[in-house]
Amino acid sequence: MTRSAGATYVILQVPWHSIAPATPPSGFVAPDPTSPGYSWGGIDASVESAESAGVTPILEIETTPAWAYDKNPSGGNAGTPNAADLGDFATALATHYDGLTLGIPAEHVFQVSNEPNVSLYLNPVSASAYRGMVNAVSDAVHAVDAANLVVAGGLDPFGHPKSKKQKWHSVAPLAFMRSLLCVSKGAHPHATCHNAVHFDVWAHHPYTFGGPFGRAKLPDDVSLGDLPRMRALLQAGVRLHRVVSAQPVQFWVTEFGWDSNPPRPHAAPLALAARWTAESLYQMWRSGVSLVTWFGLQDQKSPSPYQSGLYFHSSSLENARAKPVLTAFKVPFVAYLQKKTVSIWGRVATSDSELVTIQRRHGKSGSWRRVAQVRSNQYGIFKASLRLKATKKDWLRASAVGSGNSLAFSLLVPHAPHIGPWGN
């Protein structure tokens, strides 16, 4: 179902605490994936399923075993893993998936933790501690295969100060990032320390209030409209040699979504959530993001607050009912009325070069008529400025072989209520 949605990647959480032994046995060699005590069966099954479906796993290392902490968890917050132990596990993980063991596929993408600027995942929230974690994983997996990719960041978009009422806290993403990269504030940033961090991809989670063009209220928070600022900071880190990679550093979004109504009251209605999905993908693309992963194939079971799935919740995926969001994710398409033209952008589900037909309909009903044809690039992206005598009453859609039709996109820009991604 993930592959049929046009996706080519999936994040799989790698539970370090479940794969490693609860207590290392005598003779346990942590960097050796065949060492007694390791248990790979669960993650192997997920990886093999993903590969058989034609989807590339992003292996996200999570959950530290009790014996591998520098600082233990406390009060619902995470602790701080020992960087050397984390590096040993990363060596074992990358070696296990180096493609040299019969029956085990080769995997090449490794993400270091999730939202390390949040105390629920790293506590104390320390950019320097996270730098040590990233460098340990990077050294380990690149030693196994220099072509492996290390993904860092995956930050929460908002800072939350410590308080007596709230048991957890977070550091605003740009503040955390500046500390991690040793880069100053300002229009002309400079290096603030001699420490470098080694990764190949920077990731973020740009959840947004007020629709896909919304910006965060606080200056160091990063929603969709703030992504260019985060990218500029990343580029400054690369330019100042605070970020080290053997290849051009990429910018990814590894978690995003819009809750919908139904099932969640006060969230974006289904049609608006679908429009926002396409527009969000466009926003991320034009901000330099090259890969996006959506938060959840289907809605989680109520009363979970996470209702941003491509499908409504069902006890069986075979019976899951698709939302309009699925089509917007699979074949995103946007069209904006200019003075004398209509600017369009989209992506075909086949992720390759295809002839794309653009059709127009006047009003909410009536027949579709072809008005243009464009060709997508090698990644499935197409973009054009069409000279059309169009009005706000017109709707456009895109169609391509292997992708079908996009959703109809109104040239009348709807009101964007100031609601968040979770309906709040």
Packing angle, helices 227-239 and 173-181, rounded to 10:
10
Instruction: Give the contacts of 221 (CB within 8 A, at least 6 positions apart).
Output: 157, 158, 159, 172, 173, 174
Would you call 104 helix, strand, or coil by DSSP? coil
CA distance 241 to 215: 29
Number of C-beta neighbours around residue 196 at 10 A: 16
CB distance 333 to 399 below 8 Å: no
CA distance 260 to 274: 9
List the beta strands (DSSP E) in 126-171.
149-155
For residue 84, give the H/E element and its range.
helix 83-96
Place of tokens 């003779």: 27
CB distance 154 to 205 below 8 Å: yes
Place of tokens 């990032």: 177
Q: What does DSSP say about strands 381-386 and 342-347: parallel, antiparallel, or unpaired? A: antiparallel
Residue 67 confidence (pLDDT):
98
CA distance 108 to 18: 21
**Which two tokens mark 78?**
């995470």
Per-residue pLDDT of the chain (424 residues; tens, 9 = 90+): 999 999 999 999 999 999 999 999 999 999 999 999 999 999 999 999 999 999 999 999 999 999 999 999 998 899 999 999 999 999 999 999 999 988 899 999 999 999 999 999 999 999 999 999 999 999 999 999 999 999 999 999 999 998 888 889 999 999 999 999 999 999 999 999 999 999 999 999 999 999 999 999 999 999 999 999 999 999 999 999 999 999 999 999 999 999 999 999 999 999 999 999 999 999 999 999 999 999 999 999 988 889 999 999 999 888 999 999 999 999 999 999 999 999 999 999 999 999 999 999 999 888 999 999 999 999 999 999 999 999 999 999 999 999 999 999 999 999 888 999 988 8
Nearest 5°: phi and psi at 9? -130, 155
CA distance 130 to 222: 19
Q: Reduced to 3 DSSP states, what percent helix, strand and coil does the chain have, rounded to the nearest 5? A: 25, 25, 50
CA distance 285 to 314: 31
**Which two tokens mark 144?**
């196994």
CB distance 333 to 278 below 8 Å: yes
Find, among 293, 287, 261, 290, the residue nearest to 274 by Cα. Answer: 261
CB distance 402 to 349 below 8 Å: yes
- b/e burial code for range 9-31 (CB count within 10 A of at least 16 → b): bbbbbbebeebbbeebeeeeebb
Residue type, 329: F
CB distance 241 to 196 below 8 Å: yes
Q: Determine the Cα angle at 259 with ends 405 and 348, to 5°.
A: 25
Residue 423 confidence (pLDDT):
84
pTM: 0.96
Residue 424 confidence (pLDDT):
83
CA distances for 235 relative to 128, 160, 178, angstroms: 20, 26, 12
Query: Would you say how long the chain is, in residues?
Result: 424
CA distance 72 to 340: 62
For 339, counting Cβ atoms within 10 Å of its Cβ (0-12 exposed, 13-18 middle, 19+ buried), the class is exposed
Residue 302 confidence (pLDDT):
84
Instruction: Give the contacts of 410 (CB within 8 A, at least 6 positions apart).
Output: 275, 392, 394, 395
